[in-house]
Every structure is written in structure tokens, then in C-alpha cells.
Amino acid sequence: MTGPVLLGTGARAGGRLLTSEEIDGRIGRKSGWLESQCGVRSRPVLSEAETQESLALQAAQTALDDADLHPDDIDLILFASAVGRQPIPATAALIKDALGLRKTAIPAFDINATCLSGVAALDVASLYVSAGRAKRVLVVTSEVATRALPWDTDPATAGLFGDGAAAFIVGEGASGIAVNQVILETWSEGYEFCTLGAGGTRYDFHSARDEFEENAFFRMDGHALFKLTRNKLPKFIDRLLDASGWSRGDIDVVIPHQASPLALEHMIRKCGFDREKVVSTVRDTGNLVAASIPMTLDTARRDGRIGAGDKILLIGTSAGVSLGGATLIA
């Protein structure tokens, strides 16, 4: 096998399962209301003893074990998430330190393409390996989406999200899941469709605290996002498959971003996939943002849904608005 391959994968969901019925009680709704609105039955959330970086470290260690590697075998660490631990410094440096690599010189930096951060990092890692710049790249994504949800103004959107982490290792190898093609596109007319405005330079905490606090919650224009992706996604998939030399009928397993049950159902109908080939976990995990695609891939592997020689499609959308996908061969 030539070219970059996935040598190992790992995942770690938040340690407590929060059901929609439990949330119904908290927000003063009848039992069953939230699930009827967002389609999610339960989602993992952080336990009191957990942090974003502790989930990331466990996912990373699981991926290393899966690949039979030690942290010292890694040449580059990419932290690929929508929201890191803090704006400065890069969360990747913290992951490197937690892995016991403080005294090594390997680079560690963050990549942010929101929900597609894992796919973007897969692309960067593959380029590093193909160019001979690195032999093994560790990609870690960890999200604590439950910290900034609009429960007061938009509970149906807030109910979609959970907390979790996933990791994978891209490297040289005679065996593994081969990376065939990765493509990302951005359609910036959708920039305001999904936003978390506070935390950067847009709103000054010191001089405009009210605006800062008002924009410290996630906002999504679901209708506008749906309309844009409905128009763009099918042709994007055509371009990805053409670049891969595949047709839809060649695909054995589809690993989509677990955006919402409604989004997955629409993708299946609009894009012409066989339903039994699509891995869906969102009703029980919620939307885990950038951890969604790599965690679903790990789940599919461990559940035996991926066999030798299978052709795998990773596909998703993200804020910005971006479309992204990859084709892999097991």
C-alpha cells in the first residue's frame, strides 16, 4: 500500500449520558418534547471530573494503542476542533505536554474548520506524510459544545449537541485504511448562518461587555443553512467521487457528520445513498461538532461495519459554510 494511511483510531465520549427527558424537566417542558423537536434521545456530556483536554488525551491514547505506537513515535500533533481550551495558546501544545512530549521538538498546532476540522486535519496530515515531512501525525479533536448552548432562546438547536473526543493517526504503512482523496470547499455567503460571536476580536469584553455576553451563545439559522447545503452538497459529492474514480454504487460505508437526525435523513434522500450503508449515531450521541466524523469512523470500525477492501466515504458540512469529504479504502 502506498500513500498515507490511517494507522489507528480512538474516541472518548463525555462520561455522563444526558437524556432529552432529563432536559425536558429542567426547561419546564412535557416529557418527550425535546426529542420531538430535535430528534436526539441522549447525548454524552462532561462529568464533573472531566475536561476537554482529558477527553482528548484518552482518545489520543486509544488511537496510539490501536496503532501499537508510543507518543515518541509521533512527528506532528494537530488539534482539530471548533473551540479549543482558550484562544491562546494553541490547544495542541497542551495535548503534546499531556502526552509526555514536553522535551521533544515536534510541532503541535491547531486547525479549525468547525465541524469539518477533523477532515481538514486529515488533509494536512496526509500532505505532510506524502511530502516526507512526517512519518506519523496524530490528529486529536475534542469538543465541549454544551458550554455555549441557547437553551433560553432556541432549545431545539441546543438539544442537538453533546461532548466528546476522537483521534486518529495518519502515517506511512503497509497496512491500514488508505487515504484516497480529500476535498474541502467553502461558500462564504453562509458565514453568518452558524456563529459563536464572542471570544475573538469582534466583541470587546472590556468595552462592550453586554454585546460580548449576548454573543457568548451559539446561534444557527437552520433554514438558511439547510437551503445552502441542499443546493451544494450533491454536486460536491459528485466532484469528490469523480476525483476518486468512484461512483455512488462503489461506496460500501458512508460516515457522515452527525449534524442532526433530520440532516442525515435529508442527505440520504437527496444524495442517493443506500440507507443500510450510512452509519448513524446521532440519536444517541447528538452532534459532537468536529469530533463527530472521526468518532463515527472509530465506532464503525469497532462495531465491525468496515471490512477489508471496503470503500468508505467521509462527508459533512460546517459553519462558514464549508463542505468537506474524504474517500478511504480499508
CA 84 – CA 154 distance, rounded (Å): 23
CA 306 – CA 303 distance, rounded (Å): 8
CA 323 – CA 259 distance, rounded (Å): 13
First vs last Cα of the chain: how many Å apart? Answer: 11
CA 218 – CA 287 distance, rounded (Å): 13
Task: Write b or e for each residue in 311-322: b if 16 or more Cβ atoms lie within 10 A of its Cβ, otherwise e.
Answer: ebbbbbbbbbbb
C-alpha cell of residue 279: 452509519
The one catalytic residue in 38, 180, 271, 287 is 287
Angle (CA) 106-108-113 rounded to 5° is 150
The one catalytic residue in 38, 215, 257, 271 is 257
Q: Are 174 and 212 in contact (CB under 8 A)?
A: no
Q: Bridge-partner residues for 181, per DSSP? A: 327
**Residues near 90 by Cβ (< 8 Å), separated by ≥ 6?**
79, 84, 108, 109, 110
Task: Write b or e for each residue in 121-155: b if 16 or more Cβ atoms lie within 10 A of its Cβ, otherwise e.
Answer: bbbbbbebbeeeebebbbbbbbbbbbbbbeeeeeb
The one catalytic residue in 38, 115, 194, 271 is 115
Determine how many CB atoms are found less than 10 A away from the CB of residue 172. 17
38 is catalytic: no
Residues taking part in catalysis: 115, 257, 287
